[in-house]
Amino acid sequence: MAINIALDGPSAAGKSTIAKRLAKQLNYVHLDTGAMYRCVAYKALHTGVDLKDEAAVCKMIEETVIDMKSDGSIFLDGKAITNEIRTDEISMAASHVSAHKQVRALLVAQQQKIAENKGYIMDGRDIGTVVLPHAELKVFMTASAEARANRRHLENLSKGFESDLSQIIEEIRQRDWQDTHREHSPLKKAEDAVVLDTSDMSIDEVVKKIEELLPL
């Protein structure tokens, strides 16, 4: 029988990459909850909604349709914005909108509804603690800020983007601080989550380790 897997951890820990690989191998569906906060931030920035105005952001969410396809493409109100939500500007804006309690409540409700049928690998910050507290497997993936920044740096270079390693380290530290110090659902390991420090692990090693943790 299918189960739900909660995969939490700080920014750029490689959660999405691992979740995609596992989903493919297990024939599960990957749900990237961070992308939902990114869509909200993207729409607010593009429609002039003040990120700090919680009520306005919530009203906007109620008039928004986020469609996450199983091939990883993401549609916001019918428009493909898969890559557009991955910029540094949107990362910071998503971190800001995700601090609002009511914004979280609206997105958490959507995430819980989606996962009702099981067979999901959901990655985020509060999956094991809030969204799926009864998930059959909870993994908390960490890596040092330097290791995470270095991966992002190499990824940028491989795509031909300009990249400044020390700036990436600084941004990752800043987002870690924001995500762990916000009042509502801060990034926190669930008590029953298994911690995986992936600083010195390859993608294959992490996937294999999580497969070993799956309940029979």
In this structure, are residues 140 and 196 in contact, taking their beta carbons and an 8 Å threshold?
Answer: yes
In this structure, are residues 54 and 44 in contact, taking their beta carbons and an 8 Å threshold?
Answer: no
Which helix (H) or strand (E) element contains residue 163?
A: none
- The structure tokens listed for 132 are 């799926």
Q: Which is nearer to ligand DC, 97 or 201 (CB)?
A: 97
21, 125, 148, 152: which one binds ligand DC (CB under 6 A): 125
Contact between 11 and ligand DC per CB under 6 A: yes
Q: Where are the beta strands (DSSP E) in the chain?
A: 5-8, 29-32, 66-68, 74-76, 79-80, 120-124, 137-142, 194-197
CB of 90 to ligand DC, least distance (A): 8
Site string (31-60) toward ligand DC, x via CB under 6 A:
--xxx-xx----------------------
Q: Which is nearer to ligand DC, 74 or 212 (CB)?
A: 74
Q: Which is nearer to ligand DC, 4 or 11 (CB)?
A: 11
Q: Which is nearer to ligand DC, 33 or 198 (CB)?
A: 33
- The structure tokens listed for 122 are 């959901």
Residue range at the interface with ligand DC (CB under 6 A); choices 74-82, 123-131, 133-141, 162-170: 123-131
Which helix (H) or strand (E) element contains residue 17?
A: helix 15-26
Tell me the C-alpha to C-alpha distance, in Å, between residue 141 and each of 14, 23, 84, 144, 212.
8, 16, 25, 11, 15
Q: Which is nearer to ligand DC, 21 or 38 (CB)?
A: 38
Q: Which is nearer to ligand DC, 161 or 216 (CB)?
A: 161
Contact between 198 and ligand DC per CB under 6 A: no
* Binding residues among 157-196 for ligand DC as defined by CB under 6 A: 175, 179
* Binding residues among 126-155 for ligand DC as defined by CB under 6 A: 126
5, 31, 51, 94: which one binds ligand DC (CB under 6 A): 94
Residues of 147-169 as b/e, b for ≥16 C-beta within 10 angstroms? bbbbbbbeeeeeeeeebeeeebb
SS3 93: helix
What's the start-to-end Cα distance of the chain, in Å? Answer: 10
7, 49, 61, 98: which one binds ligand DC (CB under 6 A): 98
Q: How many residues bind ligand DC, per CB under 6 A?
A: 15
| Residues of the shown chain interacting with ligand DC in the complex, contacts defined by CB under 6 A | 11, 33-35, 37-38, 91, 94-95, 98, 124-126, 175, 179
